[in-house]
Amino acid sequence: MAITPNADETPWLTADEKEAWTGLVSLVLLLPGRLESPLQHGAGLTLFEYLTLSHISEAPERRLRMSELAYLANGSLSRLSNVVKRFEQRGWVERSPDPGNGRYTVAALTDLGYEVVVAAAPTHVRAVRQFVLDPLDADDQEALARIAAKLRVRPVDLT
């Protein structure tokens, strides 16, 4: 038997809530493509690949646990593992057991991988400015950062 919510019990969205929700969905669905297109044309990287390299490059000693990297790059461990495997074949990343806890795997950026991300970074930054930051004033940027922090979901094993 299917359960249908009683209309009297469902907290339907107000017009303002619907506008906020629709705006968020538009951002989530459309913005990644706008950020990825310049990267693909300029550097031959997807947004996920760029974020993967970028996050490793910003980590101490350019080393990061795969589980943390999956969270930061917004992908599953299996997707990340496939990308990192391709990066290993290109000589951009090396994987090894975490010396502090062998149950984890660490991805380390090679010098060649660092060169790739450094070359791609200006293309990414220009797209971020064009599609995200430049249309917003300082108050909007602060509000966006505050809202993003409130909506961020972090897996329990990374806290």
- pLDDT, one tens digit per residue, over 56-107 is 999 999 999 999 999 898 888 999 999 999 999 999 999 999 998 989 999 9
Nearest Cα to 107, choosing from 122, 96, 123, 118?
A: 96
Cα angle 27, 56, 131; round to 5: 25
Predicted pLDDT of residue 74: 86
pLDDT score recorded for residue 153: 66
- For 36-60, the pLDDT digits (tens) are 999 999 999 999 999 999 999 999 9
pLDDT band at 116 (very low <50, low <70, confident <90, very high): very high
36 in Cβ contact with 75 (< 8 Å): no
- Residue written as token pair 């310049």: 38
Q: Which residues lie across from 109 on neighbouring strands?
A: 93
pLDDT band at 159 (very low <50, low <70, confident <90, very high): very low
Nearest-angstrom CA–CA distance, 91 and 74: 23
Q: What is the pTM of this model?
A: 0.85
